[in-house]
Amino acid sequence: MDESSEIPRCIPGDMDLAPAFAAVLRHWVDHPESRESNARGPSPDRFYGDTWFCPACGVPTTEADGHVRCTCCHGPLDGFMWDLIEKHPHKLIERMPPS
């Protein structure tokens, strides 16, 4: 997350962030001990899809059992998904064809 200008940006996702939402992400980044409170209840049928990035580590996330988690710090992005999908469409990333 680039916060050097008035409009924060998600660099990996190539998208602008609303300043209020960037503040929520910043709080999540700065308080790793409370990240787990952002997890939603288990829901094996819930699937967000697409490619997302951890605002703390900048690495892609993985999705399983209804949770979107960072592959590095394992923090859940679940509570951000509605805002990310509905308010901040990411640049589409070309996927590898199935092998």
Binding residues for Zn ion, rule: CB under 5 A, are 54, 56-57, 70, 72-73
**How far apart are CB 84 and Zn ion at their closest, in Å?**
15
Residue number with CB closer to Zn ion (54 or 84): 54
**How far apart are CB 45 and Zn ion at their closest, in Å?**
25
Q: Are 7 and 26 in contact (CB under 8 A)?
A: no
3-state secondary structure of 44: coil
CA distance linking residue 83 with residue 55, whole number of Å: 14
**How far apart are CB 31 and Zn ion at their closest, in Å?**
13
